[in-house]
Amino acid sequence: MVSVDLDNILRRMNGAIDSLNKEFSGLRTGRASTALVENINVNAYGSKMPLNQVGSISVPEPRLLTVQVWDGSLTKEAEKSIRESDLGLNPQTEGNLIRIPVPDLSEERRVDLTKVAAKFGEQARVAVRNVRRDGMDTLKKSEKEGDISKDEQHDLGEDIQRLTDEHISIIDKLLVEKEQEILQV
């Protein structure tokens, strides 16, 4: 017996939007924020871990972030991950403390960040569409196995499409807001 759980589909689509909001919080608009770096992945202990799981991140000044790495052996790896992120940051290390000055955003850098935001937006759209595809596949399987009628399949399919359209619309709105925030001087 295969059944379609609209609540599960909704939860997964909301998860894509939550993930997008998290990604957007890491795109800076000119002032230091811990969200800027906390999700940068660091190679630690044979796997990738977010920076906020290998050290404590703070904002001692409006244009400065610091990362106090808990395990000294990970300091170099954390610094490398920050430097190689698409954020244009240049960290400096003193022992286990990494100082990250947050430079002013140039016009060119702002345009680059809008492209990164667009990429995050597209990833979220793809995630929502994948949830829709999974739901539609489950519907077809349910109808084929005789669990639901052709009419029920059609109605549930319309519900899934409506949820998809709503979530894509939310993603587009969030993207426009983030691009305006980035380009605002």
Q: Is 91 helix (H, G, I), strand (E, B) or coil?
A: coil
Residues 77 and 137 in one domain: no
Distance (Å, rounded) from C-alpha 110 to C-alpha 181? 10
This prediction's pTM? 0.69
Q: Is the pLDDT of residue 1 over 70?
A: no
Predicted pLDDT at 2: 52
Q: Is the pLDDT of residue 31 over 80?
A: no
Last residue of a domain, one of 43, 66, 101: 101
With cut-offs at 50, 70 and 90, classify the pLDDT of residue 104. Answer: confident
Distances in Å between the Cα of 130 and the Cα atoms of 17, 113, 141 are 13, 26, 17
Predicted pLDDT at 125: 96
Domain harbouring 66, CATH code: 3.30.1360.40
Domain count, the chain: 2
Answer yes or no: is 159 within a domain.
yes
Which range marks the domain in which residue 125 is found? Answer: 6-23+106-183
Mean pLDDT across the chain, nearest whole number?
88
Distances in Å between the Cα of 33 and the Cα atoms of 16, 57, 62, 95 are 22, 9, 8, 22
Tens of pLDDT, residues 66-97: 999 999 899 999 999 998 887 778 899 999 89
Angle, nearest 10°, between helix axes 150-183 and 6-25? 10
